[in-house]
Structure 1
Amino acid sequence: MSHRLFIGIRPPASVRDALIDTMEALEGARWQDDEQLHLTLRFIGQVERPTTNDLASALARIVWPSFELTLEGVSYFERKAMPSAIWARIPLTPELGGLRAKIERVCDLEGLGRETRRFTPHITIARLTRDTGPIAPWVARHSGLRTTWQAEGFTLFESHLLGSGAHYEVVAHYPLRG
């Protein structure tokens, strides 16, 4: 049986509350649930149980200090010239980039290869469809979104795709220390 995995940082409740407070007045947006709010550090994809176990063990050997993260405004991704998702921006800091580099190295050593897509740190707020209303007013209204928190750990998640959306299950959590 294969498992769909990713590695991410879950923001604390106060940050998730600030994001949830933005989730209004955009017709046709599919807002993320509280449990879905996270910063993806590395998408793994489908792997078998032995690979999951090996990856979980290897990630436990990462030593990295706790560091500050900031949400700074909102933006959106496009697919085929249409907005497809709106998200809160997280500036890439040396600390965040360093942790991500260590995770990339572990994934590579575990035979999962390197990520080829450019890393754009963000937390997805909503998925959009062709039926979504104009997003410019929403983006303008929430452009001043800003909150800071201390990243105390990262998590290996399993993603279960359901008709109602994705459900995330914690496989292992790794505290930041050192």
Structure 2
Amino acid sequence: MSGIDGARWQDDEQLHLTLRFIGEVTATVADDLTIALSRIFAVAPVLSIAGVGRFEKRGRTDALWAAVAPAETLAAMHRKVDRACVAVGLSPEGRAYRPHVTLARLPRAGHDEAQVGAWLVRHAALSSAPFVPSHLILYESRLGRDGATYEPVMRWPLGTGETPDGSQ
């Protein structure tokens, strides 16, 4: 997490894998959403970090991220969360889902795209050992001058993939 002037690197407390951005909602919708999310069943997937990338706005890099694989497993979980959001009256997600962990946010001006390109090449093979998330967590984010802080609102355990008798 270095090598790009002006980059705001995320600290450990900011690192997360988003299944669906929800945005600001009323207290009633938030209550309904926690109920809808509690009804989701998903088996805890085996995940790993698998490369890096960037998000761009108007031809400039906006953020750097680490890809999370397998993408289709996470996309299926994203669709479940999106359906729960729609069921409580939120608009469906309009963007294609790309499982990632944001590593840095870049300023609108003042960063060197050559540094970004070099960083992407240098870290293209970024990978991790497999890991298994144990919970689906609904976070509330608060923007501050040092970036976002995330507070867990609710958490639900992910399934093991086994039936009560131990079979798969």
Where is the strand percentage greater, Structure 1 or Structure 2?
1
Match of 2:35, SS state, is helix
Cα deviation for residue 127 of structure 1 reads 0.6
TM-score, normalized by length of structure 2? Answer: 0.87
Pick from 117, 120, 138 the counterpart of residue 119 of structure 2: 138
Letter in 2 for 1:171: V
For this pair of structures, how many residues does the alignment match?
156
Match of 1:71, SS state, is strand
Q: What's the counterpart of residue 158 of structure 1?
A: 140
TM-score, normalized by length of structure 1? Answer: 0.82
Match of 1:73, SS state, is strand
Runs of 4+ in structure 1 displaced over 2 angstroms? 91-95
Cα deviation for residue 100 of structure 1 reads 1.4
Are 1:57 and 2:27 matched, yes or no? Answer: no
Letter in 2 for 1:138: W
CA distance in 1, matches of 2:68, 2:24: 27
CA distance in 2, matches of 1:126, 1:96: 22
Gaps of 5+ in 1: 1-22
CA distance in 1, matches of 2:57, 2:36: 35
Q: What's the counterpart of residue 158 of structure 2?
A: 176
2:75, 2:99 within 8 Å by CA — same for their partners in 1?
A: no
Gaps of 5+ in 2: 162-168
Match of 2:21, SS state, is strand
CA distance in 2, matches of 1:128, 1:101: 29
CA distance in 1, matches of 2:26, 2:87: 16
CA RMSD of aligned residues (A): 1.3
Larger radius of gyration: 2
